Structure 1
Amino acid sequence: MNTAEALIASIQGLSATSGDLSALHSVLKKAEDSLRNNGDVQLATLEELDPSIHSLGYLYILEALTRGTVSSKGVVLLMARFINSCDAGQIRLAREKFVSLCKRFKDRVLELKDPLLGVAPLLSAVRKVQVSAKCLTALHPDCLQLCLQAKCYKAGLSILSDDILEVDQPRDFYLYCYYGGMICIGLKRFQKASELLYNVVTAPMFQLNAIALEAYKKYILVTLIHSGQFSGSLPKCASTAAQRHLKSGCMPYYEVGNRYNDGKISELEAVVVAHSSDFENDNNLGLVKQAVASLYKRNILRLTQKYLTLSLQDIANMVQLAYAKEAEMHVLQMIQEGQIHALINQKDGMVRFLEDPEQYKTSEMIEVMDSVIQRTIGLSKNLFAMDESLPCDPLYLGKVGRERQRFDFGDDFDTVPQKFSM
């Protein structure tokens, strides 16, 4: 019996119980070098295995055989089939090897210019690698990247709905939030996009990285679209590196934000024209144009706070639109999106602004409020559990101990201020 036959026999015979799998894992580790160099083991060998039953052995062989250049789409489809059908319990025994295979698979589908092919397998891979929904895996960013390139935004949203509380690698977190923010922009869910991009900008960093810089550019524009205002200063929780260097790398975006705050369309459009090449090079020109369009809506919204009725022509004049028809289009879109409540009289071209009709007592609204409350309770419990576990964490205790030594003056030194006696 040659090496390939012996290995296949071991995989087939040791894939039933946890004890067998532990023994098989040892066999596979010892055979790893020979798998990479042995010509007897070919992709055809995998036909003797069932990826859903012999997942651990299948993983070792497939990972070894795809280390080189994989140009065949058939091989890529074989990888996709394995990722979709493999047993989560088995592949977690060789988690790093499975992650490596999935990342290789992502690279191959991008080389084939067929990102859609990789979306479903990577979504499946994320769930199989995850120990719990609150854990960020190394595959989250790769999955979101494929969803973004394939324009499968809703598929990406399915893993963005989790409340991530555990992160292993900072770079994975940066990319997860950055790609996630872009997916939410594609879906026009600007509030969620703003939250994700904010996480990148305020994440701890010793030196500025390119991901944070690009995230901050988009964060400025998304904040303008969502909230209609720009703060020239970074949040206080941002790192020192971000505080020092982010603004200098985003000056054209700061100019857009400042002109937006002024509310003058002509000046804002002049800044956009002046820096259009910068925005285009950053692939942000479309988002900048959305920000400009949102200022028209923001100015219309201000009018609802001052007037009960206005003509479409008056609205066009006040917000610097060329024609009354453009004003009508903006008002209709704002009504559709629920930003304002109004009626348009087509006969005389008058707009009557109304109060919000929502009384917040329908069953649908109660369900929404209950969902928010339950999520808040869940987050509170998670934070409480993390707070309780932190004093027992060896890394935390070690750091606290080192910090305490720096300021330990001894028991004889009284650190409590005393009143001076006369």
Structure 2
Amino acid sequence: MVTTVPSMALISDLLSASTHLHNPIINDEYDRRIRELVEYLKRPLTTKNLDTCANDETFLDQFDPATDSIVYLFVLGVQIQKAQELGGEACPADIRPSGKLWARAAQFLANFDSIQVRYIGREWRNLIEIVAQASLAAHQPLLGAKLVRDAMLRLDPSSTVFTSTHLLLVKLCLQARAYSYALPILNKHICHFPTLPSQSSSESSILCADGSSVSFITDTSGFSSKLSYRDYLRYFLYGGMVYMTLKKWRSALHFLGVVISMPTASSVSLIMVEAYKKWVLVGLLEKGKLCSPPSITTPHVVKIYQSLARPYVILAHAFERGDLKRLKGEVDAARDIWCMDNNLGLVTQVVDAFFSQTVIKLGKTFAALTVADLAKQVFPSPVDEEIAESAVSSLIMSGALNATLVQMQDHAGLSMLRFSIALSFPRLSHELDVQTHLRQERQLMESLVCNLEETNYNLGMSDECVDSLQRGQAWSASGGANPTTAEEAGLEMDEDLMGDMS
């Protein structure tokens, strides 16, 4: 398609405006120029003056998504909108994978300037959501998941501020069955929610300045759609499901624990009940017992969980007692429930894990056992000793069981299982693992301390804190007691929040 004269004039104007951002300048000036460019682009977008570039396939070739990110994204948005209008659908062929606009979107998301994009959060999120919808419409959610994940990490490598894009990514990974793709985001610790502008520091208005994502991912920046507590619960439930599929039981327990311990005034949501059911099964797989909910979970909520998830609790009790026959009976009796809850796969893994967990428990009681005696205690019906020995060998080789198999010289063909107190792997390997773990914990603590300091500062700048300080000064001047107590300044607000969530 031949470029028209108005299009050439527009390209010249946009290139000139974007070029002002290429040279290194101080933050204040850079901030001013970006804001002027955004305002300049919004005006013609509103009056449809950029229609000349909507059908020009070569228009975007004049701009580099890495250095002209703002212009590139605005023009790409216009072209996507035009394609949607012409096609009469949200995801026409040009926007789907292998389409020309999909290629443009992928190029942008892989190369955009993260500083410039801080000023156009709503446009960035719109593109992210369109890419996700297009990949689902084409039945290729894996392509969308990769683009969304990489774009999130490019915008905010820490990913500590929870946004609607977090939930979108996990949904894409679950639908694509590309569970490991979500780990770079799931492994980050959520420390903040998008805050109101009044809760941000005064310096945060200069978005290009160095700082955490709290300064530019705010309640009004557009990087996230409006969030509810259900979005937060779903993110941790789906994240727990991702960890389950990867058999990372400890991480799955942590994510599910966040859901079931959510404060509530009187009732619990279906999401929380679903998480508790999975919590029971994952606890059996990770620890071989019915795990108590996190200590912050109130007793009446625990009773509600146990009542609504009674078949799961009964199954856990059968598992804990080491009664395989009863365990299988409970599995068969409630098979319709497992299927209806989409937990049959987890229940099957619980049955498979019964042998290993029972053998591990025997190791806490006995120093050694013959394989024949072990088989009698574990299996309800007679089992060939070779089968039992093979199962024990698999546990030892996988590292699940810390023991050794010894052939008895006095009794031909008789094997003895000796449980070890010492670690089965070399000391050096153990020390390296400990060092790695300590480094990870140190990095986590540093991140949490940094985010805690920032949270404290933002809370100190909030309207609620300023109002309470003003009330305290008024009381002090009149000789009264300081009213900023936990009962007045904190608990009433928490009750309001919990009332919204029930």
For this structure pair, what is the TM-score category when the shorter chain's length is used for normalisation? Answer: 0.7 to 0.9
- Residues 292-345 of structure 1 show CA distances to partners (whole Å, capped at 9, x for unaligned) of 222222211121123333333332221126534443344233323423222234
TM-aligned CA deviation for residue 366 of structure 1: 4.4
Return closer, same or farther for 1:272/1:101 CA change in 2, 3 Å cut-off.
Answer: same
* Residue from 321, 324, 328 that aligns with 1:265: 324
* 8 A contact 2:91–2:137 mirrored in 1: no
Q: Which residue does 2:446 correspond to in 1? A: 378
**Which region of structure 1 is more displaced relative to structure 2, 300-309 or 323-332?**
323-332
- Residues 326-375 of structure 1 show CA distances to partners (whole Å, capped at 9, x for unaligned) of 43344233323423222234743432322323686664144135325514
Distance 1:209 1:33 in 2: 42
Distance 1:50 1:70 in 2: 25
Matched to 1:202, the amino acid is: S
Return closer, same or farther for 1:63/1:260 CA change in 2, 3 Å cut-off.
Answer: farther
Distance 1:222 1:36 in 2: 57
Q: Which residue does 2:110 correspond to in 1? A: 84
Distance 1:284 1:398 in 2: 49
* Residue from 397, 405, 418 that aligns with 2:465: 397
Matched to 1:63, the amino acid is: G
How does 1:251-290 map onto structure 2 within 5 Å?
Answer: 251-290=310-349
Does residue 334 in structure 1 map to residue 337 in structure 2? no
Does residue 99 in structure 1 map to residue 112 in structure 2? no
Matched to 2:405, the amino acid is: I
Return closer, same or farther for 1:105/1:312 CA change in 2, 3 Å cut-off.
Answer: same
Q: Which residue does 1:183 correspond to in 2? A: 242
Q: Please, which runs of 5 or more residues in structure 1 have no aligned partner? A: 416-422
Matched to 2:15, the amino acid is: Q
**Which region of structure 1 is more displaced relative to structure 2, 94-103 or 141-150?**
141-150
* Residue from 149, 155, 166 that aligns with 1:129: 155
* Residue from 273, 277, 294 that aligns with 1:217: 277
Matched to 1:203, the amino acid is: M
* Residue from 407, 411, 414 that aligns with 1:348: 414
Does residue 14 in structure 1 map to residue 80 in structure 2? no
Matched to 1:32, the amino acid is: L
* 8 A contact 2:114–2:154 mirrored in 1: yes
Does residue 70 in structure 1 map to residue 91 in structure 2? yes
Return closer, same or farther for 1:12/1:294 CA change in 2, 3 Å cut-off.
Answer: same
Q: Which residue does 2:187 correspond to in 1? A: 161
* 8 A contact 2:160–2:189 mirrored in 1: yes
- Residues 228-272 of structure 1 show CA distances to partners (whole Å, capped at 9, x for unaligned) of 1114x6445237995575445433323322332333222222222
1:159 match: secondary structure:
helix
2:164 match: secondary structure:
coil
Does residue 55 in structure 1 map to residue 69 in structure 2? yes
Matched to 1:224, the amino acid is: L
RMSD over aligned Cα, in angstroms?
3.6
Q: Which residue does 2:40 correspond to in 1? A: 27
1:15 match: secondary structure:
helix
Q: Which residue does 1:418 correspond to in 2? A: none
Matched to 2:349, the amino acid is: Q
Return closer, same or farther for 1:350/1:241 CA change in 2, 3 Å cut-off.
Answer: closer
1:50 match: secondary structure:
coil
Q: Which residue does 1:194 correspond to in 2? A: 253
Distance 1:37 1:103 in 2: 23
2:161 match: secondary structure:
coil
Distance 1:395 1:272 in 2: 54
Return closer, same or farther for 1:249/1:396 CA change in 2, 3 Å cut-off.
Answer: farther
TM-aligned CA deviation for residue 286 of structure 1: 0.7
Matched to 1:106, the amino acid is: A
Distance 2:481 2:79 in 1: 67
Return closer, same or farther for 1:291/1:53 CA change in 2, 3 Å cut-off.
Answer: same
* 8 A contact 1:35–1:41 mirrored in 2: no
Matched to 2:417, the amino acid is: V
Return closer, same or farther for 1:79/1:390 CA change in 2, 3 Å cut-off.
Answer: closer
* 8 A contact 2:363–2:419 mirrored in 1: yes
Return closer, same or farther for 1:388/1:49 CA change in 2, 3 Å cut-off.
Answer: closer
2:404 match: secondary structure:
strand
Matched to 2:277, the amino acid is: K
Matched to 1:46, the amino acid is: L
TM-score relative to the length of structure 1: 0.83
Distance 1:203 1:411 in 2: 40
* 8 A contact 1:137–1:167 mirrored in 2: yes
* 8 A contact 2:257–2:293 mirrored in 1: no
* Residue from 23, 42, 46 that aligns with 2:55: 42
Q: Please, which runs of 5 or more residues in structure 2 have no aligned partner? A: 22-29, 85-89, 195-226, 408-412, 484-502
Distance 2:309 2:318 in 1: 15
1:14 match: secondary structure:
helix
TM-score relative to the length of structure 2: 0.71
TM-aligned CA deviation for residue 287 of structure 1: 0.8
Distance 1:210 1:374 in 2: 36
Q: Which residue does 1:320 correspond to in 2? A: 379
1:350 match: secondary structure:
strand
Q: Which has the higher contact order (CA 8 A, sep 6+)?
A: 2
Give % identity.
Answer: 23
